[in-house]
Every structure is written in C-alpha cells, then in structure tokens.
Amino acid sequence: MKSLHDLVQVLREQRQTVGFAESCTGGLLSSLLTEHAGISDIFIGSVVSYSNQVKMDLLGVQSSSLSAYGAVSERVALEMAQGIIRHLKTSTSIAITGIAGPSGGSAQKPVGTVCFAVCGPHFEEVQTRSFSGDRKSIQTQACEFGYKFLLSQLQRKN
C-alpha cells in the first residue's frame, strides 16, 4: 500500500503520532500499520469500538449523538477521532465507523456506507464514502481510504 508507506513517512517527517478508533474495520487498520517494523515511534495505539457502549465509555462519544445520528455517522466518527486524541494523547487520529455487511444496511445507510474522521493539530475533517464488494473488501477499501484521508490532510496543512 503506497499510501500507507507515504503516511508513515509524512508522520515521521512531521514528528506526529497517530491513534485509531475503529469500528467496522475491526482492527484491520491497526494490523496493516503494525506490519511496518519500528512503527512504535509514531503509532500509539487503537480502540476497536464495535459496540456503542465502548464508543461512549472509552472514546467519549455522546449518547445523544448516537441517538440522533446513529453509530454510522460523520458526527460519531468525529467524536471517536477526538476521543482517541484525548485518551491516547496522540497528535493525529483516524476514526472509521460503517456497515461492512453482508447485513445491517438500510435504505438510508446501505451496506458499504462508511464514515471517516481525521483529526490533527490544525484540522478536523469528516467524510462519508460508499464501498462495494464483500465484507473483507469493504473493510480493506475503508482502511485504504482512511490512510489516504489522513495523508491528504497532513500534506494540505503542512
């Protein structure tokens, strides 16, 4: 994954640290990053917050946000990303929450709907994307997009 290699390089060049809040990717984002030897200089950790209770208890997601927008929403993704920075004391974060399938989708949020948030010293950005394929494919596409999303913000804000 070229974008992942590029992200690692930019994080190191900018002396940034990163943490992840993952839901539908179930730790895959962290697993892909930790394939890089010596990554502990920039990667602090992650929280796989599959349940809403974990999102609230460990990441500080507001129950009112979950009620109003649902777990798969840009608002919840942003609160997850903010929570990782606050609790792990990282300088940047990626949060991913979505519906990887094969079930769980709705007319408003079909399978493949994934919400992202990236936060850093001078930015907080959210975006929703739609991916297709089987569960593993959606998870992999979400990870790739998450890395690219943070990389784009780090490069823009530098």
- Measured CA to CA in angstroms, residue 22 lies from 4, 6, 54, 71, 103 at distances of 16, 21, 11, 12, 19
Phi, psi of 32 (to 5 degrees): -65, -40
Q: What is the pLDDT along the chain (158 residues), one digit of tens a residue?
A: 578 899 999 999 999 999 999 999 999 999 999 999 999 999 999 999 999 999 999 999 999 999 999 999 999 999 999 999 999 999 999 999 999 998 988 889 999 999 999 999 999 999 999 999 999 999 999 999 999 999 999 998 55
Answer whether 116's CB lies under 8 Å from 129's CB: yes
Sign of CA dihedral 132, 18, 23, 83: negative
Q: What is the DSSP letter of 40?
A: G
Question: What is the domain range of residue 64?
Answer: 2-34+43-157
- In the sheet with 113-120, reading across from the earlier edge strand, the strands are 43-48, 18-22, 92-98, 113-120, 123-130
Cβ neighbours of 32 (radius 10 Å): 17
Q: What is the CATH number of the domain that holds 83?
A: 3.90.950.20
State how many domains the chain has: 1
pTM of the model: 0.95
Tell me: cis bond preceding 102? Omega within 30 of 0 counts. yes
